[in-house]
A = this chain, B = another copy of it.
Amino acid sequence: MQRKVPQSNLYLREEELRRGIELLYFAYRDFTRDPDAILAQSGFGRAHHRVLYFVGRNPGTTVSGLLSLLRITKQSLSRVLGQLVDEDYIIQKTGAEDRRQRLLYLTDKGLTFEKQLFDTQRNRVADAYKRAGPEAVAGFWEVLLNIVDEDERAAVLSQIEK
């Protein structure tokens, strides 16, 4: 497959902008397909996946830490989080310094399940990276980061570079 490279600044024309918008839509649509299928078998949804993912990535995070990362409301989160705690995927430990906080950790069961979900996306992304090559991957990162809200970029950077 030959790569399409935009000439001069024509890449800012309507056609090229539509291309990015549409690819983002289609890629995201398929990106969530594999984990969604696994989640459905356990009676979970995409929201559970996000919580498992970010708790796995940031062990010991608090509820408000997750809220500001996911940008959803407390109630949405607490419903999903409650289920994951009830079913033993996540454990809450009272904060040592601030005892109001519940620090969140994956249990072994949670770790195993998260890994299973992650692997499907890992394979998909690894495959895409392989086909596209390292230069393309750098561009992919760069554009995505700049699509993020300007005042969120620092937070996202510190998350992804952890």
A contacts, CB < 8 Å to B: 3-9, 11-12, 14, 16-31, 33, 50, 57, 71, 118, 121-122, 124-132, 134-149, 152, 156, 159-161
Contact = CB atoms under 8 A, between A and B. Distances in A.
A130 B18 contact: no
Contacts of A6: 134, 137-138
Nearest to A123: B17
The main secondary structure of chain A at its interface with chain B is helix
Contacts of A135: 5, 135, 139
Given A17-B122, A135-B135, A159-B22, A127 B141 contact: no
A68 to B, nearest CB: 12
Nearest to A152: B30
A24 B134 contact: no
A96 B29 CA distance: 33
A21 B19 CA distance: 20
A134 B19 CA distance: 13
Nearest to A136: B139
B147 A27 contact: yes
Given A23-B144, A33-B149, 18 more contacts: A4-B141, A4-B142, A7-B134, A12-B130, A19-B161, A23-B140, A24-B28, A26-B152, A27-B144, A27-B148, A30-B152, A128-B143, A128-B146, A128-B147, A132-B143, A135-B139, A139-B139, A140-B140
